[in-house]
Structure 1
Amino acid sequence: MYFCSHGPEVGGAPARCAPPSRERGTPMPIPDQRDPEVTRTVLNRWLAGRLPGAEVERLQTPATSGFSAETIMFSAGGRGFVAKVAPTNYQIFPEPRFEEQYRLLAELRRRGLPVPEVFWYEPDASLLGAPFLVMGAISGRAPSDMPPYHMEGWVTEISPAERSAMWDNGLVAMAAVHAQPVAGLEYVDQTGYGPTGLRQRLGYWDHYLHWAYAGKVPVAERALEWLRAHQPPEPHEPRLLWGDSRIGNILFVDGAVAGVLDWEMATLGQPEEDLAWYLYLDRHHGEGVGAERLPGFPTARETVARYTGLLGRPLADLEYYEVLSGLKFAAVMARIGQLMISYGLVPADDPFPHTNTATRLLATVLEEL
């Protein structure tokens, strides 16, 4: 999850975010770099039994990061790798579920989905300070969060036709996730928060909201109350959900999907939940930050029609899932705000955790009900 940034999650100790831009609504990261030479030495020793004779080269800890993990990029044995290190003290999620991500990526790759190839999972925290997994690097570029892609960056420079292709190919990739047999993937279901589906989701985000931030986020509390009062039926069998389903988590090459990233939020549920998040984050990166949506991106109505065809059944209760998306995003931004307070980047009474572009958009969505 990269709401702090527009690139791969990176850094040494957990990456930091500078004070938020009130205009753009998302904080800019300032990484705490680990010592690259020490890291290179550790990785060389660790790789010796896995890639005999390979030497770590071109090690990078990129300068932009989210809070959900640290990324170390390097090459060895003639190919590129990405080591993703579990968060420790400062993290976005209560339970990083790191080994689950490794298992899920390995299985989805085996099934032919365009996810990174995972090579190794290392549970020994003494090496890099936390468990880590090593994936193959993928060429491509993802639409940025900071600045939002409707405002600046490479997405503003490509043709409307390529934007349309990106959007549609992202939907096709998401539909492939929803088409996966759930058998063998049950471990992503967070049953500790309730039975599969919306009861579980509301239990999780209720817990998350109060874990994330020491204060109150009134609009998120209102959204949670509304969601509990209006919970719809779930008549269809649960599907695998990507969770953080948005074009900012897809690597593209000329409008085609090269890689589907970020599986921290994967779970089981109704596909409407993923589609609503896909639409909501795009709405935030346009309307939510005061930017005009770029030409070429299909409308929400067109997207729903397209996804109905991809899913093979009518979509239901999207208004509900939009409110759920707003709750999630407001809660995540509250967590980012709390981390900024914990780092001393903003005062303890800074309004950012409860007053930001995510909370304002959620308030708008609630007013539209």
Structure 2
Amino acid sequence: MAGAAASRDDMTRGIAAGTAGDESEQAVQLGAWLSERLGAEVRLDGVRAPAQGGLSSDTLLATARWRDHEAGEQSLDLVFRLEPAAGLFPDYDLPGEAQLMKTLAEHTSVPVPTVRWVESRAEVVGRPFVVMDRVEGRIPSDFPPYHAGGWLLDASPLEQRRLQRSSIEAMAAVCRLDPWAMGLGFLDRREYGPAGPDQQLGYWRAVFAWACGGDAVTEVEEVFAWCERNRPGDDPPVGLCWGDARLANIVYGPGFEPAALLDWEMATVGPGELDLAWFLFLHELALTYFDELPGFAGRDQVIADFAAALGREVRDLLFYEVLAGLRAAIVQVSIGRRRHDSGDPEGLRFQHANPVLDRVREMLVDPG
């Protein structure tokens, strides 16, 4: 339908608005920076943006080449994750994100990229950045969605189901972790309330106020009001949450199982339902426009798989799915604000003509 196509195009344009700057200039700057770290003259080859980049950060891929006096020619395939020039959120903590990934790599079996260096100063390329090893594998496409075409759609139903189940298990493995015991208490934003629904609502209300620039957006306020009225009375256990749990943030190896979980900038503390609901909401939003993959299990089995891997029953899922929709809608508002600030007058219409909010309203009319 025309409306659906327009919605997908809007999301794609929102991504394009955040493209990184002059890659050749950055290659020179980053090469000089790496030369200091490695004590040898480094050349960066193949500097490019990834085929699909994240919504909220600027990323460059490159191969670093240098000559070691003893070992000879050396090379590393690297990812440079830069703090966004115009971000979707009011603040970023790249050093904290790097620390989270280092902790997961050192103390858990959760697969994440190896973090090599963190540069917290803005002097090198104009903003802080993190340098990681590039993980070999394939990532399901976001734009267009993997439902529409590509290697995952072309896989056999058995391979698709293996990928789906192993992804859910990896997500649940994150949610079983105790962030405080691992030294990750900085993810607990206590200024917004206790970990759980109160903190999430407080934090996202602050993000929303920043994203809309003080404008009144009645449609979003109505969803906030619903969440306040329907807040669960008995909170599930809280743990580490990935924050942006979706297939397009996973690198898969040849066995259709996760080789690395990516994009931890939305990591937080909360119940596992937070990640499950985000995963379900975004996947099912795409099903508004595309058919399900033939090998993917249905919603009930996904929930059962997650509960089995988490080790407890899933609770109050409607609340957390509406909250997921609210979070996604606020991200859309932020994309629109960024487009508007870049000179696109159409950007502000995301505050009202928001396909994510349409889906949330459908859920509230028919929660089944």
Aligned to 1:263: 264
Counterpart-to-counterpart distance in 1, 2:248 and 2:131: 21
Aligned to 1:367: 365
- Name the amino acid aligned to 1:334: V
- Name the amino acid aligned to 1:116: P
1:191 CA drift (Å): 1.5
Change (3 A) 1:33 1:323: closer
Counterpart-to-counterpart distance in 2, 1:59 and 1:149: 25
Change (3 A) 1:360 1:313: same
Correspondence list, 1:178-327, <5 A: 178-182=175-179, 183=181, 184-214=183-213, 215-254=215-254, 255-287=256-288, 290-327=289-326
SS at match of 1:141: coil
The answer to whether the 8 Å contact 1:284/1:357 transfers is no
Aligned to 1:168: 165
- Name the amino acid aligned to 2:23: P
The answer to whether the 8 Å contact 1:21/1:27 transfers is no
The answer to whether the 8 Å contact 1:22/1:356 transfers is no
1:67 CA drift (Å): 4.3
Between structures 1 and 2, the one with greater helix share = 2
Correspondence list, 1:33-52, <5 A: 34-52=21-39
Aligned to 1:5: none
1:99 CA drift (Å): 1.4
Which of the residues 111, 121, 126 maps onto 1:124? Answer: 121
1:234 CA drift (Å): 4.2
Counterpart-to-counterpart distance in 1, 2:294 and 2:24: 46
Counterpart-to-counterpart distance in 2, 1:33 and 1:226: 38
1:65 CA drift (Å): 3.5
1:237 CA drift (Å): 3.5
Counterpart-to-counterpart distance in 2, 1:238 and 1:347: 40
Aligned to 2:11: 26
1:141 CA drift (Å): 2.0
1:75 CA drift (Å): 1.2
The answer to whether the 8 Å contact 2:52/2:141 transfers is no
1:239 CA drift (Å): 0.4
Counterpart-to-counterpart distance in 1, 2:94 and 2:234: 29
1:283 CA drift (Å): 0.4
Which of the residues 346, 349, 352 maps onto 1:351? Answer: 349
SS at match of 1:56: strand
1:248 CA drift (Å): 1.4
Which of the residues 142, 146, 149 maps onto 2:146? Answer: 149
Aligned to 2:88: 92
Counterpart-to-counterpart distance in 1, 2:276 and 2:94: 24
Counterpart-to-counterpart distance in 2, 1:180 and 1:32: 34
Change (3 A) 1:224 1:302: same
The answer to whether the 8 Å contact 1:121/1:132 transfers is yes
1:233 CA drift (Å): 3.2
Q: What is the CA deviation profile of residues 211-239 of structure 1, one whole-angstrom value per residue up to 9, with x for unaligned ones?
A: 11244443322111011111113444320
SS at match of 1:22: helix
With the length of structure 1 as denominator, give the TM-score of the two structures.
Answer: 0.88
Change (3 A) 1:106 1:234: farther
Counterpart-to-counterpart distance in 2, 1:63 and 1:159: 24
SS at match of 2:163: helix
With the length of structure 2 as denominator, give the TM-score of the two structures.
Answer: 0.88
> What's the % identity of the aligned pairs?
34
1:338 partnered with 2:323: no
Which of the residues 97, 100, 113 maps onto 1:101? Answer: 97
Q: What is the CA deviation profile of residues 166-198 of structure 1, one whole-angstrom value per residue up to 9, with x for unaligned ones?
A: 111111111221222321111111122122111
Counterpart-to-counterpart distance in 2, 1:160 and 1:231: 38
Change (3 A) 1:35 1:293: same
Counterpart-to-counterpart distance in 1, 2:357 and 2:284: 13
The answer to whether the 8 Å contact 2:167/2:258 transfers is yes
1:161 CA drift (Å): 1.6
Aligned to 1:12: none
1:100 CA drift (Å): 0.9
The answer to whether the 8 Å contact 1:194/1:203 transfers is yes
Aligned to 2:44: 56
SS at match of 2:37: coil
Counterpart-to-counterpart distance in 1, 2:129 and 2:60: 10
Counterpart-to-counterpart distance in 1, 2:260 and 2:282: 19
Counterpart-to-counterpart distance in 2, 1:46 and 1:231: 49
SS at match of 1:364: helix
SS at match of 1:355: coil
What's the RMSD between the two structures over aligned residues? Answer: 2.0
Counterpart-to-counterpart distance in 1, 2:151 and 2:352: 31
Counterpart-to-counterpart distance in 2, 1:364 and 1:26: 20
Change (3 A) 1:186 1:301: same
The answer to whether the 8 Å contact 2:140/2:146 transfers is yes
